[in-house]
Amino acid sequence: MMNNEKYITYTTEEFVLDDDFMHGVLHPDEESNCFWNEFLHQHPEKKKEIEEAAYIIRSIRAVEPVAPSRKLKYDRSEKQIVLKPISKIGQRLIRIAAVVVLIVTLGGVFYYFQHYREKFSIELVQGEQTEKGKVILPDGTISEFETKETRIQQTASGELTINNDTVLLKEKEVKSGEPARAQVIIPYGKRSQIILADGTKIWLNAGSTLSYPVRFTGNSREVYLSGEAFFEVSTDRSKPFYVITADLRIRVTGTRFNVTSYSNDVVTQAVLVEGKIEAAKNRFFSRSVELSPGECIVYDRKENKIQKDKVDVELYTSWVNGYLLIENEPVVEIFKKLERYYDKKIMVEKLSDQPRFTGKLNLDDDLEKVLNNIAFSAAFSVENKNGVYIINL
């Protein structure tokens, strides 16, 4: 008897590799059909993974090499079609051809799934495209806010508070089987703390968008991120928590970590402060990398390469506490962070080399003071022209 519970958190890859599932796809019978129909009835959210896995298994089966031992031949004397034995050499050539077809087909299937991104269908609006912060509810309601630091809380009953204002979700707009999602859009120059219905806390940095279910009703908790966020995930081992970006898929149960995934950056990265996470490319059949506290996983978009390193986590998470701790970082990369944080334009006029900076920047200071602190050690000048900061050697 198959175990219903083990399939609840299965990915597409795990279904493909499961012997019972594969047998049910290739040799369906009344018992297996009843089992999977009942499973899908109880867990409709797994339909996508099951359909994808069944497609892969059938694709492999369709080209399974079987060399025939006899061939059809027209006998003129008998005036009829008869079966004639195929020579050993002929059978060998047929087997070779069948294996070649199998390899090519499997290669195509696996190439497709290796390069095909997991669904990132939530249309994330870039945070820098709007001056006000926004919360977009599943029913289409849009609530805007102008506060620099905003606190958003989602309760289990569907009630949403933005700072001290309450917004109600219309129950009739929530569809069964498909989690109703809200989006939080934080523009440049603003930040937000978000508390989800399960108690998970998220600090969303400037220029970021987060999509999340207003209620966690399925067997996993999935949020979509574009930008940067620090997560403090509420522990629930029966419902793994996933952070999905355009490049990475991160699985956790309860832990603290930072994720950076801006669309105009070369890399996407996750840094673990406490607990344990597993991260993989947001592709089918991508190998997961397990992180321990003090480790960072970095995905390079240009090279399509992923690697793990030991790091000082405070260098990646200090922004949550209102300062930037920087160690030997190119000033051009620092300027990019400050543009997001302050929503101000920084133009580099003349930098003949790539000066680097090490130190601590207080984000409560105004931008000009922060830039002058960097200029003191990195040897450049700062000029403010109508709110645009010009950098010169």
- Confidence bin at 49 (pLDDT 50/70/90): confident
Q: Which of 44-48, 154-158, 273-277, 360-364 has the lowest mean pLDDT?
A: 154-158
Residue with the larger pLDDT of the pair 269 and 121:
269
Stretch 377-388: mean pLDDT, rounded?
86
Q: Pairing between strand 191-195 and 149-154?
A: parallel
Cα 320 from Cα 230, distance rounded (Å): 7
- Give the helix ranges, DSSP H, for the chain: 12-17, 19-26, 30-42, 47-62, 88-115, 314-317, 331-342, 367-378
Question: Which residues are CB-contacts of 277 (< 8 A; sequence separation ≥ 6)?
Answer: 250, 251, 252, 255, 257, 270, 290, 291
Q: Fill in the DSSP letter of residue 313.
A: T
Cα 319 from Cα 203, distance rounded (Å): 10
State which of 46-55, 87-96, 246-255, 291-300 shows the largest mean pLDDT. Answer: 291-300
pLDDT of residue 10: 81
Q: Fill in the DSSP letter of residue 174.
A: P
Please determine, for residue 334, whether its predicted confidence score (pLDDT) is greater than 90.
yes
Q: What is the CATH number of domain 127-315?
A: 2.60.120.1440
The closest of 101, 257, 124 to 182, measured between CA atoms, is 124
User: Can you give the residue ranges of every domain in the chain?
Assistant: 1-62, 127-315, 322-392
Please determine, for residue 308, whether its predicted confidence score (pLDDT) is greater than 90.
yes
- Confidence bin at 188 (pLDDT 50/70/90): very high
Structure confidence by residue, pLDDT tens digits, 103-138: 454 554 444 444 444 555 445 444 445 688 999 888
Mean pLDDT of all residues belonging to the chain: 80
Question: Which residues are CB-contacts of 102 (< 8 A; sequence separation ≥ 6)?
Answer: 63, 64, 65
Structure confidence by residue, pLDDT tens digits, 283-298: 766 778 899 999 999 9
pLDDT of residue 236: 87
Q: Helix, strand or coil for residue 12?
A: helix
Question: Which residues are CB-contacts of 386 (< 8 A; sequence separation ≥ 6)?
Answer: none
Stretch 27-35: mean pLDDT, rounded?
86
Which own/partner contact pairs does 41-49 have at CB distance under 8 Å and 24+ positions apart?
42/4, 43/7, 43/8, 43/218, 43/219, 44/177, 45/177, 45/218, 45/219, 45/220, 46/7, 46/8, 46/10, 46/219, 48/12, 48/119, 49/10, 49/11, 49/12, 49/15
User: Which residue do the tokens 């369906």 mark?
Assistant: 28
- Confidence bin at 193 (pLDDT 50/70/90): very high
The CATH number for 322-392, chosen from 1.10.8.60, 3.30.1130.10, 3.55.50.30, 3.40.50.1820, is 3.55.50.30
